[in-house]
């Protein structure tokens, strides 16, 4: 699925969904993650105009899981939307790191 984000696994869907429907309405489970990633990822997903719904839950604080539900418009693959959102988060983190290092160099 998304190799570089090894903590992600797609949850199994019930057999009553056909393959087309399953591609644009998917639940992902992140292991070892919580609200920090969940809310940021939800925000990035909702910035995509092809995403109709994105939400996350942390079932219980003592369980190391966070579930993200993604529903996209017809013809858009949820895996692609998820990959784009994760790439955007990486880009934002890289920019913050560059800005921080530049500021340390300037003011240190």
Question: Would you say residue 72 has pLDDT above 50?
Answer: yes
Cβ-defined contacts of 68-73 (< 8 Å, 24+): 68/27, 68/28, 68/29, 68/30, 68/38, 68/41, 68/42, 69/26, 69/27, 69/28, 70/25, 70/26, 70/27, 70/28, 70/45, 71/24, 71/25, 72/24, 72/25, 73/24
Determine the pLDDT at residue 108.
83
What is the reported pTM? 0.79
Stronger pLDDT, 11 or 93, i.e. the higher one: 93
Per residue in 31-67, pLDDT (tens digit) is 989 999 999 999 999 999 999 999 999 999 898 899 9
């Amino acid at each position: 699925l998304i190799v570089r984000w090894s903590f992600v696994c797609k949850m199994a869907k019930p057999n009553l969904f056909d393959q087309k429907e399953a591609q644009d309405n998917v639940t992902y489970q992140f292991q070892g993650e919580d609200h920090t990633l969940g809310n940021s990822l939800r925000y990035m997903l909702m910035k995509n105009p092809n995403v109709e719904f994105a939400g996350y839950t942390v079932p219980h604080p003592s369980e190391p899981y966070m579930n993200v539900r993604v529903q996209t418009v017809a013809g858009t693959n949820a895996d692609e939307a998820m990959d784009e959102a994760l790439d955007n988060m990486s880009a934002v983190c890289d920019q913050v790191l560059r800005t921080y290092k530049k500021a340390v160099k300037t003011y240190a």
